[in-house]
Amino acid sequence: MSAETKSPLRIPPMIQKTEKQPASAERREVLETNPWHMAMQQLDRAGTKMNMEPLVLERLRHCKRILTVSVPVRMDDGTLRVFEGYRIQHNLDRGPAKGGIRFHPQVSLDEVKALAFWMTMKCSVVNLPYGGAKGGIICDPKKMSIGELERMTRRYTSEISILIGPDKDIPAPDVNTNEQIMGWIMDTYSMTIGYSCPGVVTGKPIDVGGSLGRREATGRGVFYVTRELACARGFDLRKAPVAIQGFGNVGSNAAKVFAEHGCKVVGISDVGGGLYDPKGLDIDEIMLYRAKNDTIADYPKAEHVAADKFVELPCEILVPAAMENTITAENAPRVKAKYIVEGANGPTTNEADRVLNQRGVVVVPDILANAGGVTVSYFEWVQDIQSFFWSEKEINARLQDIIVKAFREVEEVAQREKVDLRLAAFMVGLTRLAKAVRIRGTFP
């Protein structure tokens, strides 16, 4: 079944026109959680505030290239299954397209479009010489064997090879994709062109041209941004209890880095449920528990919290690092955190954002908060191209420089213009991007 027929998120393209006919509650909910609708509202909000010329905005309202592929895979039982996949390049004005690939049952065209748009904005906010892209396959990797995953990844790579390349479009890990999968992408692409091409993908294993520090980079970036926030808004990070939603690559590494720096992580969760201890959780021990069990939800030495109640936990800093739409208009009034640092892409709906702003909750937006991952991806790509590799110390120091600089720039705009950090981040990203769009002009 395709994403188009399966997704409840499918909506007509002329969203802005819906104001005239009052939307039903059900329709409002569908619009609230549609990522592309969300992304375009964010763009419009920034464009209006900045008085941005329509030419630039109109360009950014469209993805440059959208490729839908069918991915036939021979399953272990001998049957053939065809998966639907996408690779979308939103914009290339500032450089080659960059962005991850996710494997998830809820992948949809609108989701991948939004994620590609957010990559364009993210790379611009932290000033990396990239445009934005994203890819995905509608599948449930948890129900697939390693052989099936490898065959699916390789065939998908072959299908999108007309778009990707080290100077064109560079994939990376995202939800449910990891170093091994990036290794298969690198190998498949290299086999096709006849020589090894490490720069075609980032987030690879170190042994085939991956970078030190890439695995922890997103979580580390989340920490650096939170530390700057504490400095700017005058609170003591070590005294601020942190709750982290999600225990994938971003959430688990964020928890580790926060704990390493002496912060108190009082809550963490995964799909199975959440854990809470007001005295602080032992992250190292939970990591070990996770290595032996499917979920952290049954870890015995903490209070258990239902997954859908996790964002309401008592804490000062909440890091949503799971999926989109976990903070909505419905639960935003009950969020107790004073600061939200978005480790995931699109975890807060725009309606929830408005509620949180009214309540004085500060939200550090995804396009800034989780930019550490793509920043070290950029370092990996630079190292691959030069075949010259840096130390982990150097990588972390450069990551910190970039994230701190971007945060300060966004914070300065937020204070000067008296706007929230999401709008400020969009203003910083859009200013840079618009310059490139104007200079390059319209061909022919």
Q: Which residues bind ligand GLU (CB under 6 A)?
A: 98-100, 172, 174, 202, 345, 370, 373-374, 377
366 close to 345: Cβ distance less than 8 angstroms: yes
In the residue annotation, 17 being an active-site residue is answered as no
Query: Quick check: 34 and 12 in contact, CB under 8 A?
Result: no
Spatial neighbors of 40 by CB under 8 A, at least 6 apart, are 15, 61
Distance CA 386, CA 367 (A): 28
Nearer to ligand GLU, 174 or 351 (CB): 174
Could you give the C-alpha distances from 2 to 12, 29, 80, 151, 174, in angstroms and in order? 17, 22, 16, 20, 21
Instruction: Specify the 3-state DSSP secondary structure of 16.
Output: helix
**Distance in Å, CB of 283 to ligand GLU, minimum:** 22
Tokens of 9: 């998120």
For ligand GLU, the nearest residue by Cβ is 100
Nearer to ligand GLU, 174 or 353 (CB): 174
- From the list 98, 113, 122, 134, the catalytic residue is 134
Alpha-helical (H) ranges within 126-247 are 146-160, 179-193, 214-233
The CA-atom distances, in angstroms, between 385 and each of 187, 206, 349, 381 are 16, 15, 38, 6
Residue (7 or 218) nearer to ligand GLU, CB: 218
Nearest to 73 by CA among 171, 141, 165: 141
* Burial (CB count within 10 angstroms: exposed 0-12, middle 13-18, buried 19+), residue 21: exposed
Shortest Cβ 279–ligand GLU spacing (Å): 33
Nearer to ligand GLU, 325 or 345 (CB): 345
Closer by beta carbon to ligand GLU, 55 or else 385: 385
Give catalytic residues, as residue numbers.
Answer: 134
